[in-house]
Amino acid sequence: MKSLSLVAVLRLGLFQGCLGCLAVIFSGLLNRIMISELAFPGLLVGGALAFEQFVAPARVLFGQISDAHPLWGRHRLPYIWLGTLLFCGFAVVSVPLIFHVGRLLEAGDQGPLGFAIAALCGLFALYGLSVSLATTPYLALVIDRTSESERPRAVGVIWCMLTVGIVIGAILIAISLRSLDGVTDPAVLEPVLLRFMARVAVVVMALTLLATWGMDNPQTTAADGQGQRREDSITLPQAWALITSSRQVLVFFAFLICFTLGLFLQDPILESYGAQVFAMPIAATASLNAFWGVGTLLGLLLAGLWLVPRLGKLAAARLGSQLIVATLGLLLLCGFSGNASALKGVLLLFGLAAGIGTNSALVLMLDLTLPQAAGTFVGVWGLAQALSRALGKVIGGGLLDLGRWLQTTAGLGQDPFPAYALVLLVEMVVALLALVLLARVNLRQFREDTGRTLSKVLALELG
């Protein structure tokens, strides 16, 4: 690494861990509360939460702004801190708004309900913009501060910290909200959840400052020490020319969408799956994310330390995608038993597959990124992942509603499992499509195409 020690990498990883912790609390817990305790329609929950990801095109813009417009002499940290402050605040405000929408749904007052739902979608959109504002400069900072040879290792450590944060978030929910097991009264749930979210937000903001303080400086985005042009010397139109210069960008973009959908299509319904099919209480369904997170952490380490060096990036990514398809099948099959222990075991295996696939995909993503346009490419790949997360929330919730409607129409009884089975079956098909697209990824072609375009861009600038 050029200037990042192991301690510095761990500090930067602490921010990712905080983000993962808040994300599992914000999305996982609120998903469960809205669907199971407040009886929100699945499509409403998925659609509202999807607005967090629908604003993802702003990632490309935020990356370019942080490159070209430093604040107080620094290109990254002011944007990271401002974004973190905003998304922590919006996370706290979301709790009373969700319960307000729940009261209006129960009352059936259509006029105020429409405005409240619009406000909820707007709040999730603002939350997503804030996350984009913080994370895009953050990832660009990681690329700024690492050499090409050391970057995969640094990113592997940082993503492990993200997974640790997810596990910690799930454990925090299980411990802090154990007293709410069996409680369905919104008047009791709301104040407890509001206090919990406020405490988490304060801790996340404090740890973010600790993690990133001193990491950025005016020299970070100056010359990189090797006489190469930095990304902030390339305009947005020139960066766009680089992005569109290779068909491989589109292929990998499509792969990232299908791969991420194959991981997260069940995300908006996972905790309610545990609640309705396996009869698990709130604290127990929250712990499902911990099992998934532990498996993911093990998969990340296994892939980074052994599988990717031994098999290669593409082969390891292919193996991870194949394992994801297989474990999704197991996740579907264990629903027939209704055994909560089997569900936890399968989620551990699913996390292991996800970790292997994610590590390999991240290394591929770094190889498909030019150092001279790092922030812009990070924004594009982040857009693919965020777009698929948004689609996952909408499609996952919508498929659940569709499954329930089909079940009622066909007179198949009140068993909740068939509707969830439809979601998991579609997710398996999408994961298989990711495998097909992965076979079309060609790193050499990407480097040749973008290298030619970059030479033209720099020649024009020098001319």
Written as tens digits, the pLDDT of the chain (463 aa) is: 444 567 777 888 888 888 888 887 877 777 777 877 787 887 788 778 778 877 877 887 787 777 767 787 777 888 999 999 999 999 999 989 988 888 888 887 777 888 988 998 999 899 989 988 988 888 778 777 776 566 666 767 787 788 788 778 878 877 777 777 667 788 888 888 888 889 989 999 999 998 888 777 654 443 344 334 444 455 656 666 766 777 888 888 889 899 999 988 888 788 889 888 998 887 778 678 778 878 888 888 888 778 887 888 889 999 999 999 999 999 999 998 889 999 999 999 999 999 899 888 887 876 776 656 666 677 777 777 777 877 887 788 889 889 989 988 888 788 889 999 999 999 999 999 999 999 998 878 877 777 676 666 555 544 4
Alpha helices in 279-416 (DSSP H): 282-302, 308-311, 313-333, 340-367, 374-409
CA distance 34 to 272: 10
41-78 residues labelled b (16+ CB within 10 A) or e (exposed):
bbbbbbbbbbbbbbbbebbbebbbbbbbebeeebbbbb
Closest of 311, 394, 316 to residue 41, by C-alpha: 394
Place of tokens 């020649």: 459
DSSP 11-68: HHHHHHHHHHHHHIIIIIIHHHIIIIIS---HHHHHHHHHHHHHTTTHHHHHHHHHHH
Q: 330 — phi, psi (to 5°)?
A: -65, -40
Return the pLDDT at 463: 44
Q: Are 252 and 313 in contact (CB under 8 A)?
A: no
Residue-level length of the chain: 463
Rounded (10°) CA dihedral 176, 181, 187, 189: 30
Report how far apart, in Å, the C-alpha atoms of 291 and of each of 220, 266, 328, 367 are.
38, 15, 15, 30
pLDDT score at 76: 81
Q: Tell me the sheet residues that pair with 74.
A: 71
pLDDT at 232: 44
- The Cα angle at residue 236 between residues 230 and 241, in degrees rounded to 5: 95
Amino acid letter, 83: G
What's the CATH architecture for 6-213+232-457? Answer: Up-down Bundle (1.20)
Give the residues across from 71 on adjacent strands: 74
Q: Which two tokens stand for residue 44?
A: 């409403």
User: How do the domains of the chain map onto residue ranges?
Assistant: 6-213+232-457
User: What per-residue confidence (pLDDT) applies to 82?
Assistant: 94
CA pair distance 232, 230, nearest whole angstrom = 6
Spatial CA neighbour of 260 closest among 159, 385, 361, 396: 385
How many CB atoms are located within 10 Å of the residue 182 CB?
A: 7
Distance in angstroms (rounded) separating the CA atoms of residues 193 and 272: 18
**Encoding tokens for residue 64?**
């370019």
Q: What distance in Å separates the CA atoms of residue 131 and residue 378, rounded to the nearest whole number?
A: 14
Confirm if 41 and 117 have CB atoms less than 8 A apart. Answer: no
CA angle centred on 140, ends 135 and 145, rounded to 5°: 125
260 vs 212: CA distance, rounded Å = 28
CB 325 within 8 A of CB 433: no
Cβ–Cβ < 8 Å for 117, 77: no
